[in-house]
């Protein structure tokens, strides 16, 4: 930063303090007050410098201060503020430092307050954690001292307004073209799909893309902790959980929304992420007539995903034997799509597995790998298992009614989906 820029920056900080002190003394809106203050206190500056100064004062007083340029950059996917002096961003899947910093911890706290105040949320020493959603859909997480040892932590995950279409995932390498066709057929055939992966692996993005394969004439209910999904179908009902108020009242959990969704006559239920006891209600819904539903879960492999769903279902405080929960999982989930964030930042679907029942009493359910991506190559189990192929041959809106004709359509579709990558997994 050169001397002129440093001078403007220091003057902007000083004018912001004056603006705050005179907040109740002057009329007019904030923009008018900033303009009048700059004209009065910096009349000797050039017109361009006064415009820059007014922008800096406005950012410090009304916006997010040093973060404004980062949030205006469409290439920034996530902003991570690690205390007042360290700001990092994620661009194209890679995390990199920036030259942006807050002048003090108080300035960072002011920015956090300006983010949360319009949302009716607050953080302080008594409640130092907050997770919220901005008006544009971006997700915000705040951690304050004493939990954050090096100063307030602020993480903003940017929201992509248009979302990603399945073709976008093929173009950026998340999906292979053949895998795109297979997953489209699975969603249309009402297979229940669970998308699994770690934090930041792109699970919600893939979930939204898979949701686009649901036919337009079905009623879809989406349930999320913080609404991120933007489905393009005409009949979509969006539900979002609500945290407790400052008085500790009014909380509405994901589990309560899942149970309520069953009374809303849904054709499909899409749960943004399963994190707790709502897993049991979701499994019950999927196993009792709401097949074709979609959800995500944190896990490192398809097998781990099933175990995690079992564990979460047992957290529902319902006296069900573990064996009964496993049977519920086996009857509810058809397919697990495993996603991973690669070292270079790209997100990729690395495995697709069918959920199968085992003959071993110790392992009543398991997975059978249909697709994997290893060593830079896609590997398929060919041909696909008969039960899955039969389900993909179920009547579709554009398929013939005759069973033999449907079977031939399914065979052609499956042959097209695995060729030319026929290679044992």
Weakest mean pLDDT among 122-131, 225-234, 236-245, 404-413: 404-413
Q: How far apart are CA 78 and CA 110, in angstroms?
A: 20
Residue 171: how many other CB atoms lie within 10 Å: 11
pLDDT tens sequence across 95-125: 999 988 888 898 898 888 888 876 767 788 8
Of 55-69, 90-104, 244-258, 335-349, the poorest mean pLDDT is in: 55-69
What is the percent of the chain with per-residue pLDDT over 90, rounded to a whole number? 36
**Residue 111 belongs to what H/E stretch?**
helix 105-116
Q: What is the mean pLDDT of residues 276-285?
A: 89
Distance CA 78, CA 327 (A): 40
Digit-coded pLDDT (tens) for 315-332: 887 778 888 888 889 889
Using only C-alpha atoms, the chain has a radius of gyration, in whole angstroms, of 26
153: left (phi over 0), alpha (psi -120 to 50) or beta: beta
The answer, yes or no, to whether residue 314 has pLDDT greater than 50, is yes
16-67 confidence digits (pLDDT tens): 677 656 654 555 556 677 788 888 888 778 888 888 888 777 766 666 778 8
Q: Residue for token digits 């950059």?
A: 73
Q: What is the pLDDT of residue 337?
A: 97
- Helix (H) or strand (E) holding 238, with range, is strand 236-240
**pLDDT tens by residue, 55-74:** 777 766 666 778 888 988 88
Q: Domain-by-domain residue ranges, the chain?
A: 1-61, 63-159, 166-418
Strands 153-157 and 139-143: antiparallel
User: What DSSP string describes 30-95?
Assistant: HHHHHHHHHHHH-TTS-HHHHHHHHHHHHHHHTS-GGGHHHHH-TTEEEEEEESTT-EEEEETTEE
pLDDT score recorded for residue 2: 63
- What pLDDT does 154 receive? 95
Number of H helices, E strands in the chain: 14, 15
* Dihedral angle sign, alpha carbons of residues 34, 40, 42, 46: positive
Q: Does residue 272 carry a pLDDT above 70?
A: yes
Query: Looking at residue 330, what is its pLDDT?
Result: 87
Per-residue model confidence (pLDDT) at position 22 = 61
Higher pLDDT, 227 or 205: 205
Cβ-contact 111, 64 below 8 angstroms: yes
Q: Report, as an integer, the average pLDDT of 210-224.
A: 94
- Buried/exposed code over 298-326 (b: 16+ C-beta within 10 A; e: otherwise): bbebbbbbbebbbebbbebeeeeeeeebb
Q: Judge: domain 63-159, CATH 3.40.50.2300.
A: no
Q: Produce one character per residue of 54-67: b if its CB has 16 or more CB atoms within 10 Å, e if not.
A: bbbbbbbbebbbbb
Predicted TM-score (pTM) of the model is 0.74
Return the minimum-mean-pLDDT range out of 115-124, 160-169, 185-194. 115-124
Q: Which one is predicted more confidently, 401 or 295? A: 295
Most confident of 60-69, 137-146, 383-392: 137-146
Average pLDDT, the chain: 82
For the domain covering 166-418, report its CATH number.
Answer: 3.40.50.300
Which of 106, 26, 16, 22 is closest to 62 using CA atoms?
16
Predicted pLDDT at 68? 82
**Residue 228, pLDDT score:** 83
Q: Say what the pLDDT of residue 24 is.
A: 47
Question: Quick one: which of 270, 85, 118, 126 has its CA closest to 193?
Answer: 270
Q: With left for phi above 0 and alpha for psi between -120 and 50, is residue 216 left, alpha or beta? A: alpha
């Amino acid at each position: 930063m050169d001397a002129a820029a440093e001078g403007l920056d220091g003057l902007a900080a000083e004018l912001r303090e004056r603006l705050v002190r005179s907040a109740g003394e002057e009329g007019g809106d904030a923009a008018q007050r900033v303009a009048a203050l700059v004209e009065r206190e910096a009349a000797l500056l050039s017109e361009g410098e006064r415009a820059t100064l007014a922008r800096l004062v406005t950012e410090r007083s009304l916006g997010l201060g040093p973060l404004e340029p980062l949030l205006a950059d469409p290439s920034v996917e996530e902003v991570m503020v690690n205390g007042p002096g360290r700001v990092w961003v994620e661009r194209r899947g890679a995390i990199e430092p920036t030259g942006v910093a807050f002048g003090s911890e108080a300035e960072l706290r002011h920015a956090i307050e300006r983010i949360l105040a319009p949302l009716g949320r607050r953080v302080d020493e008594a409640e130092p954690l907050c997770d919220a959603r901005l008006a544009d859909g971006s997700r915000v997480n705040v951690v304050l001292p004493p939990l954050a040892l090096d100063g307030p932590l602020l993480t903003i995950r940017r929201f992509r307004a248009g979302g990603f279409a399945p073709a976008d995932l093929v173009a950026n390498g998340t999906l292979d073209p053949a895998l795109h066709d297979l997953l489209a057929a699975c969603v249309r055939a009402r297979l229940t799909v669970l998308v699994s992966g770690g934090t930041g692996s792109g699970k919600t993005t893939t979930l939204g893309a898979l949701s686009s394969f649901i036919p337009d004439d079905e009623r879809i209910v989406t349930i999320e902790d913080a609404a991120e999904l933007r489905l393009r179908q005409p009949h979509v009902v969006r539900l979002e959980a609500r945290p407790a108020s400052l008085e500790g009242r009014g909380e509405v959990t994901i589990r309560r929304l899942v149970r309520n969704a069953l009374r809303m006559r849904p054709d499909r239920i899409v749960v943004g992420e399963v994190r707790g006891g709502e897993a049991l209600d979701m499994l019950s819904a999927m196993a009792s007539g709401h097949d074709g539903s979609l959800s995500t879960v944190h896990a490192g492999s398809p097998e781990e995903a099933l175990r995690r769903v079992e564990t979460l279902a047992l957290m529902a405080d319902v006296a069900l034997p573990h064996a009964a929960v496993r049977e519920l999982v086996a009857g509810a989930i058809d397919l697990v799509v495993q996603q991973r964030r690669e070292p270079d930042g790209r997100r990729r679907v690395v495995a697709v597995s069918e959920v199968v029942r085992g003959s071993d009493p110790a392992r009543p359910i398991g997975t059978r790998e249909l697709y994997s991506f290893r060593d830079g190559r896609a590997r398929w189990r060919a041909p696909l298992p008969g039960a899955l192929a039969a389900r993909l041959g179920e009547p579709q809106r554009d398929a013939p009614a005759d069973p033999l004709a449907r079977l031939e359509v399914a065979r052609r579709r499956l042959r097209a989906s695995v060729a030319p990558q026929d290679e044992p997994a």
